[in-house]
């Protein structure tokens, strides 16, 4: 669990920084919404094709305007891929693990990654908040407290920042912040 938390703290992920999302100029925004069902499904398909059906993930994060990244296990090490506005394809990124935990205890099967998850999560969260909610990021990762795979969705509604969690199948949505 410490290793997963350290990944969030120490791995540079500028594509998922909400402040950076707001700072993108109109040219970058014209490239599309990475959380739209079509864009999200395309990214998931590319990631699954690149990593293969037996891959083990540490996490996957997608932001509305900034692209995203996936961190995965490769033997006894971790590696990553990122995608971003204005660039086609998946680029390798370095992943540094910090902490005393074992990599094998912090991964989950790529099969948990559903190409329809963004649509399911958006619908489930909007049923809780109403139509004004706009998701900014969606992250699939292990919950450090329970060890279960879950989604974390951040976004805004009526000027308020909100955070939700859901099971890996996009059910059981709960507001946590």
Question: Could you report the per-residue pLDDT of 88-138, keeping only the tens digit for each?
Answer: 889 999 999 888 889 999 999 999 999 999 999 999 998 988 888 899 999
Q: Does the pLDDT at position 170 exceed 50?
A: yes
Q: What is the pLDDT of residue 66?
A: 87
* Distance, CA of 103 to CA of 75 (rounded, Å): 10
Tell me the CA distances in angstroms from 159 to 23, 26, 96, 123, 133, one per residue in order.
17, 21, 35, 19, 9
Please report the DSSP string for 46-72 in residue order.
HHHHHH-TT-EEEEEEEETTTEEEEEE
pLDDT band (50, 70, 90) for residue 5: very low
Q: Does the pLDDT at position 159 exceed 70?
A: yes
Question: Please, which residues have CB within 8 angstroms of residue 102's CB and are 6 or more apart in sequence?
Answer: 3
Q: Does the pLDDT at position 25 exceed 80?
A: no
Handedness of CA 112, 117, 118, 122 (dihedral sign): negative
Q: What is the pLDDT of residue 32?
A: 60
Q: What is the pLDDT of residue 131?
A: 85
Report the share of the chain in percent with pLDDT over 90: 62
More confident: 9 or 36: 36
């Amino acid at each position: 669990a410490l290793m997963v938390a350290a990944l969030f703290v120490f791995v540079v992920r500028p594509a998922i920084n909400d402040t950076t999302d707001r700072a993108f100029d109109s040219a970058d925004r014209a490239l599309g919404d990475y959380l739209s069902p079509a864009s999200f499904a395309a990214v998931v398909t590319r990631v699954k094709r690149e990593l293969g059906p037996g891959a083990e993930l540490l996490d996957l994060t997608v932001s509305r305007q900034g692209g995203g990244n996936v961190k995965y296990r490769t033997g006894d090490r971790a590696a990553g891929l990122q995608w971003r506005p204005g660039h086609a394809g998946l680029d390798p990124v370095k992943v540094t693990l910090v902490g005393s935990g074992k990599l094998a205890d912090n991964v989950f099967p790529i099969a948990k990654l559903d190409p329809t998850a963004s649509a399911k999560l958006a619908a489930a969260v909007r049923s809780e908040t109403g139509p004004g909610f706009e998701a900014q990021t969606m992250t699939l990762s292990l919950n450090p407290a329970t060890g279960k795979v879950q989604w974390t969705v951040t976004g805004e509604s009526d000027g308020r920042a909100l955070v939700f969690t859901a099971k890996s199948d996009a059910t059981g949505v709960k507001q946590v912040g």
